[in-house]
Amino acid sequence: MKTLDLVIFDLDGTLCPSDERLNRPYPEAAVRVLERRMGWSRQKAQQVFSDKHRELREQVGGKITNTRVLLQFFEEVSFQEYEQEVNRLLPVEQVLRPLALVVDAVSLVCGAYPTFLFTTNNEGATDRILRAIGLWSFFPPDRRFTVSHAGRLPLPRQEQLEHVKPSVKGFVRILETTGAGARQTLMVGDSETSDIRPAASLGMLTFKVSRVEDVGLLPAWLGLQGLSPAPA
Ligand SMILES: [Mg+2]
């Protein structure tokens, strides 16, 4: 079994499958908030938002979340306003179910190591998603760092955003909170840009998943086969 201080998991696309019904609400909520906050037409809000999305995507050299784009370029929009709009539109409970393969794997990993959840999703959505996929008890509120947590840091807006992936300060904060060493920490995520590259830049080990079923390979990779899962 590998010796590690900590295993950090991404949420969307890692522990829960990517689904169009769950992806669509993020850009849609961004456009609605921009219409309201800036007094723009829907068409203008869509145009400006997609231009800014492309701009940031080119800047970071990879896929970027709608959440990061909106909060970075539109200081008029608060973290909470976007969170509320997203959560009104998000059909979590209609779409997501627990996947036994993932629950069993996470249970084994959580039984063997301290774990943490690091996501660009907001606090409310994270809570609903964790319940729907049967992983809530493995990532209780004090083991999560969401975009909402970044938004509550007593820092100027741009520094708060440095705690949102793909920036590295959120990773550093989790290491500090848990007392884990970067080289003894594993990051598990689906995004090269948001999870793998920043974690590797800090010296962390990384485990990239292309689809949630890959999480099922993690216990064997860690040398955990034959251990009993932690109680849910
Ligand atoms: Mg992800």
- Could you tell me the distance, in angstroms and rounded to a whole number, from the CA of residue 69 to the centre of ligand 1? 15
Q: How confident is the model at residue 230 (pLDDT cuts 50, 70, 90)?
A: low
Mark which of 44, 64, 93 sits at the end of a domain: 93
DSSP codes, 160-214 = HHTTSTTSSHHHHHHHHHHT--GGGEEEEES-IIIIIHHHHHTT-EEEE-SSGGG
Cα 153 to Cα 11, 140, 158: the distances in Å are 21, 20, 11
Tell me the average pLDDT across 8-34.
96
* HEC readout, 59-118: HHCCCCCHHHHHHHHCCCCCHHHHHHHHHHHCCHHHHCCCCHHHHHHHHHHHHHCCEEEE
- Could you tell me the distance, in angstroms and rounded to a whole number, from the CA of residue 146 to the centre of ligand 1? 12
Q: Are residues 76 and 128 in the same domain?
A: no
- Could you tell me the distance, in angstroms and rounded to a whole number, from the CA of residue 144 to the centre of ligand 1? 14
| pTM for the whole structure | 0.94
Is the pLDDT at 111 greater than 80? The verdict is: yes
* Domain assignment present for 27: yes
- Could you tell me the distance, in angstroms and rounded to a whole number, from the CA of residue 65 to the centre of ligand 1? 9
- Could you tell me the distance, in angstroms and rounded to a whole number, from the CA of residue 46 to the centre of ligand 1? 23
Question: Per-residue pLDDT tens for 126-180?
Answer: 999 999 999 999 999 999 999 999 999 999 999 999 999 999 999 999 999 999 9
- Could you tell me the distance, in angstroms and rounded to a whole number, from the CA of residue 131 to the centre of ligand 1? 17
* Domain assignment present for 112: yes
- Could you tell me the distance, in angstroms and rounded to a whole number, from the CA of residue 189 to the centre of ligand 1? 6
- Could you tell me the distance, in angstroms and rounded to a whole number, from the CA of residue 191 to the centre of ligand 1? 6
Is the pLDDT at 232 greater than 70? The verdict is: no
Q: How confident is the model at residue 208 (pLDDT cuts 50, 70, 90)?
A: very high
Q: Are residues 106 and 217 in the same domain?
A: yes
- Could you tell me the distance, in angstroms and rounded to a whole number, from the CA of residue 19 to the centre of ligand 1? 12
Tell me the average pLDDT across 201-212.
97
- Could you tell me the distance, in angstroms and rounded to a whole number, from the CA of residue 34 to the centre of ligand 1? 24
How much is the pLDDT for 225?
A: 74
CA 193 from chain center: how many Å?
Answer: 12
* Domain assignment present for 227: no
- Could you tell me the distance, in angstroms and rounded to a whole number, from the CA of residue 40 to the centre of ligand 1? 30
How much is the pLDDT for 231?
A: 61
Instruction: Supply the range of the domain harboring residue 27.
Output: 21-93
- Could you tell me the distance, in angstroms and rounded to a whole number, from the CA of residue 53 to the centre of ligand 1? 17
Q: Are residues 107 and 206 in the same domain?
A: yes
Specify the number of domains making up the chain.
2
Please state, rounded to an integer, the average pLDDT across all residues of the chain: 96
Q: Tell me which DSSP letter residue 16 carries.
A: B
- Could you tell me the distance, in angstroms and rounded to a whole number, from the CA of residue 39 to the centre of ligand 1? 32
- Could you tell me the distance, in angstroms and rounded to a whole number, from the CA of residue 188 to the centre of ligand 1? 9
Question: Per-residue pLDDT tens for 210-228?
Answer: 999 999 999 999 999 766 6
How much is the pLDDT for 227?
A: 62
CA 91 from chain center: how many Å?
Answer: 18
Q: Are residues 113 and 189 in the same domain?
A: yes
* Domain assignment present for 175: yes
Q: Are residues 54 and 34 in the same domain?
A: yes
Q: Tell me which DSSP letter residue 231 carries.
A: P
Tell me the average pLDDT across 68-88.
96
Q: Are residues 201 and 112 in the same domain?
A: yes
- Could you tell me the distance, in angstroms and rounded to a whole number, from the CA of residue 22 to the centre of ligand 1? 12
Token pair 């920043």 is at which residue? 198
Secondary structure (3-state) at 131:
helix
* Best CA proximity match to 37, nearest among 2, 72, 1, 70: 70
Q: Are residues 88 and 135 in the same domain?
A: no
Mark which of 43, 60, 93 sits at the end of a domain: 93
